[in-house]
Structure 1
């Protein structure tokens, strides 16, 4: 077995699609199919069952996938140990915009002081997309507000995040009519849900809803007097340009979890990051 074939097999298995794997890897589909066929012939067993929706692993394929994760991880670590100047250790972390805006820079400004040999990448997307990326092995771990797949993920660190209602300085929150709610377009965003519930609990009269794809757009919209929103307290208090805002800190906080895939073998850079998090105060 060649490592390149195992990497192709891993992508097909995690994406459950030969065509998607081909697109991701930049190959034509017949090339991927031929590689998988050659691997199956070498091992003398079927690795995938073909379906109308794509492919699923056979029992033999599941066994090979677990070994593939171990083999590729060890190969990457071996390269970084043998020639660290060429093959640096890597760590890929996922986080929604609300967390990547402040918390991620704060954490890594400390972590990288003692781990300068690690290259860090931060992927930002919706909660659902991030969980898919973690399931497929595209990221090593992620900061998550709602852990949906507890059977596949494990939580290794948690902290509490306060929330703040922000509005233009001249804006009256007590005015129940003509309120405009500025929310994230992600239907699973906890701050979106909180703002919508806040408007209901305070009997806002048919508020106008404006959706944005980014946290920065929401902050700018509040700054320009378009309406109100709920954001992490760290974000609200860290922006000098937000001094023209009114702040109303909400009584409850939300728990943020750092989750990884349930797997015995972890890359060394992830182990170091987990140890770094564990040394911090729990739920700080």
Structure 2
């Protein structure tokens, strides 16, 4: 039973006339009559009763019409879904987010803008550290990741820059410099510096160390922290001082103060990572949206909607409400 036979049969059934069916299909009438006769021969029973001024379905014809109509509808739906998928309008995308980038106001805007332009694409965000996200990307557990800049780890991963974010110095409120708006790194040369393990983000780690060396000292490295929020808490607990991306000051903590860095400043670049040779239109559109929103942010078109609110609540609420999928925070 061929698809075209079903199409001809359904058209004749709906028009109740071979000539009108031929006109609707834009073809001659004899071939339609021949194909319907072949279909009747194949199913072993007449499907139409021939009348003086047209045709009507037999009981067997009515049964076949119901099923044939469903088949044609399903084929049309499949055709539309395929076209939508090819245009990147349907499907799903798994987005990995480095823990520290979720504090930046541009990230919810990226997710929101993508969802608005791709309402039928399900977005499933998840949060982890940079090295874990790069591995997840290579192993195809996620489709794209927004992370801090990292050194090339595989030719299978491509990096597209989004933003350069300046760093802030974090001190306990009892520190002798806690009332200073701007502080040089050399002023805290004797303090223990809380950093993340270099394996997590080697480019950012080296940038911080290099900034200290440019200020004339090699830092005394203290306890390590794998999460930015934890590093801030460690400062409050008296373990030392730390430097964090500027957007982390949204994390209001009564036990710390945030300060601009005077002189050579380390920067924390935000990038979007995706697999080399990525063919998915869904993924390529997400990367394009991220770059577009980053340009808008740099041009001052994206406001900081999270300002003045609890940062953890804001980042979870903003990203979760911007996606059609679930948010998995680790």
Normalising by structure 1, report the TM-score: 0.57
Within 1, Cα distance between the matches of 2:82 and 2:194? 48
Q: Structure 1: 5+ residue runs without aligned partners?
A: 1-74, 83-87
Contact 1:141/1:260, CA 8 A, preserved across alignment: yes
Which residue is 1:160 aligned to? 164
Change beyond 3 A, Cα 1:246–1:275: closer
- Please list, as runs of the form range in 1=range in 2, the aligned pairs for 1:51-130 lying within 5 A after superposition: 78=81, 89-102=91-104, 103-130=106-133
Match of residue 140, structure 2, among 137, 141, 146 = 137
Within 2, Cα distance between the matches of 1:135 and 1:117? 26
Indicate whether 1:207 and 2:220 are aligned.
yes
Change beyond 3 A, Cα 1:283–1:193: farther
1:210-240: per-residue Cα shift (whole Å, max 9, x none)? Answer: 112222211112233432111111112x233
Within 1, Cα distance between the matches of 2:267 and 2:218? 26
Which residue is 2:284 aligned to? 271
Across the aligned residues of Structure 1 and Structure 2, the Cα RMSD in angstroms comes to 3.6
Change beyond 3 A, Cα 1:191–1:210: farther
Normalising by structure 2, report the TM-score: 0.50
Which residue is 1:183 aligned to? 195
Within 2, Cα distance between the matches of 1:198 and 1:156? 24
Within 2, Cα distance between the matches of 1:198 and 1:170? 25
Which residue is 2:252 aligned to? 240
Which residue is 2:274 aligned to? 260
1:69-124: per-residue Cα shift (whole Å, max 9, x none)? Answer: xxxxxx9x959969xxxxx7321122322213335334223433443433322333
Aligned residues: 201
Contact 1:194/1:230, CA 8 A, preserved across alignment: no
Q: Structure 2: 5+ residue runs without aligned partners?
A: 1-77, 178-184, 299-330
Contact 1:186/1:213, CA 8 A, preserved across alignment: no
Contact 1:157/1:282, CA 8 A, preserved across alignment: no
Within 1, Cα distance between the matches of 2:161 and 2:189? 40
Match of residue 234, structure 2, among 193, 214, 221 = 221
Looking at CA atoms only, which structure, 1 or 2, has the larger radius of gyration? Answer: 2
